[in-house]
Structure 1
């Protein structure tokens, strides 16, 4: 049977700076305000009441500017619910957006030495930090929408990760 819905997966790895400590990076991942504000399309957000079915998650209503979506699909902004759950090695971020879009993203801190060679991108061992930020994204939506959302994720992830690393470096310099 033909389905108009599909799923796509993305995998992104960013090497963290030498000297980054696990707890320091984890505290940044558990800072939901920081994570939400890393989004280059963020208009604003607000905290929502906890969901009794998922008491470990913090809930947010996030509004993004979405000027690149196909005309008429959404307004120039889109509001969606985001549940962020802290984990032992990062976060799980679940988004439920209009038109049936469901996106699950994990950001985890992994030892760089455990990653595959293609994940570290040929970076010389002498330049690698001990930790890496690993982002895995699963997007489920209508076939027409998945391509647009995937494109936005691919367009933005490097900048988002770079801003996260910048926060790590900025605090490391101060302390």
Structure 2
């Protein structure tokens, strides 16, 4: 049977500076306010009550300004629910947006070995982002394109935040 829904997956890796400890990176990944604001289309957010089915997760209503969506799909301002769960090595996000869009994202701080994922000699640490987008075919393509266009900037802002944290210590 033909389905209008589909799934897209993305995988992005950014090496962390050797001067940054993995603990500092994980602590910053657990700073939900900071992470939510990495979105280049961010407008605002507010905390929501915890869900009885996921008491460890923190819930937020996030408002974004979406100026690149196909005409008529969404207003220019979109509100969606984000559920964020701290993990031992990072964070897991579950986003539920209008039109049945569901996006699952993990950001983790993982150890790499020499020559792996952009590392030079010796071991290092990387920020690893894995994304799964589920929605109708048109929307998945649009959201995937936005994720591909935005991840480098979001990772760069994360690294800048890490460097700022290191300077404060």
Name the TM tier (shorter chain). Answer: over 0.9
Q: Distance in 1 between matches of 2:43 and 2:10?
A: 24
For normalisation by structure 1, the TM-score amounts to: 0.93
Find the counterpart in structure 2 of residue 80 from structure 1. 80
Within 5 Å, give how 1:5-154 maps onto structure 2: 5-113=5-113, 117=116, 119-120=117-118, 123-125=119-121, 130-154=124-148
Structure 1 residue runs of 4+, over 4 Å off?
Answer: none
Instruction: Specify every segment of 5 or more residues in structure 2 that has no aligned partner in the other structure, as ranges.
Output: none
| Conserved? CA contact 1:20–1:130, under 8 Å | no
> Normalized per residue, which structure has more helix?
1
> What SS is found at the alignment partner of 1:70?
coil
Q: Over aligned residue pairs, what C-alpha RMSD do you find?
A: 1.4
How far does residue 48 in structure 1 lie from its aligned partner after superposition? 0.2
- 1:99-157, Cα deviation, whole Å (9 max, x unpaired): 0000000001100218x84x32xx5327xx72100000000000010000000000000
Deviation at 1:174, TM superposition (A): 2.7
